[in-house]
Amino acid sequence: MIKNDIWIKQQAEKGMIKPFEPTLINRVENSPVISYGLSSYGYDIRLSPNDFRIFRRVPGTLVNPKNFNPENLESATLHTSEYGDFFILPAHSYGLGVALEKLEVPPNITVICVGKSTYARVALIANVTPAEAAWHGHLTLEFSNSSETDCMIFANEGVVQLLFLEGEPCATTYADRNGKYQNQPETVILAKV
């Protein structure tokens, strides 16, 4: 069953989401922002300004998820304008960011991370990403710019929505099996095997 705003708020008060915004914020200091915070059946998390990386072609290298070469990623510059702080994801490229909020997922919940319609309408696609039962940390987020134009992706503003799905208790949680992406810091974490 998908969990509602009442449940999300109760769990956030116990530390499930930090920092937590109990309402959906779409303006900050009278300026419009891409919404973040609590919605009816989800929570819109923000993109951290601390780390965003873009895949670059490096001649002679392959992207190997079993032996990832960090040289295939380039740190993006955080820009500032009257619209806010943002990274630029070039046309037809792929980038990795990290969530500002830290999660502590309960053991009977799996979180699904989905894209926001505001970004989808400008051809920025967020990969669907799970955070399994008892996962803790800052989510590494994946984005694809499928347009012909460079795209601004705003830091400290909503970037993806989390949906919380409750299931019967599982035999082994992500924490129990010492999952390789457990306790991620507020930085991009590269592929691991």
Q: Is residue 156 included in any domain, yes or no?
A: yes
CATH number at residue 18: 2.70.40.10
Q: How many domains does the chain have?
A: 1
Q: Is residue 132 included in any domain, yes or no?
A: no
Beta strands at 140-145 and 102-104: parallel, antiparallel or unpaired: unpaired
Q: Is residue 29 included in any domain, yes or no?
A: yes
Task: Tell me the C-alpha to C-alpha distance, in Å, between residue 135 and each of 20, 129, 159.
Answer: 17, 13, 20
Measure the CA–CA gap between 33 and 36, rounded to whole angstroms.
8
Vertex 160 angle, CA 154 and 165, to 5°: 165
Domain membership of residue 96 as a residue range: 5-123+140-166
Place of tokens 């740190």: 75
Q: Is residue 180 included in any domain, yes or no?
A: no
Using DSSP, state whether 71 is helix, strand or coil: helix
Q: Is residue 98 included in any domain, yes or no?
A: yes
Residues of the chain scoring pLDDT < 50: none
pLDDT at residue 58, as a whole number: 77
Q: Is residue 162 included in any domain, yes or no?
A: yes
- Enter the DSSP assignment of 160: E
Q: Which two tokens stand for residue 86?
A: 């943002």
Q: Is residue 61 included in any domain, yes or no?
A: yes
pLDDT at residue 62, as a whole number: 82
Q: Is residue 86 included in any domain, yes or no?
A: yes
- Which active-site residues does the annotation give? 142
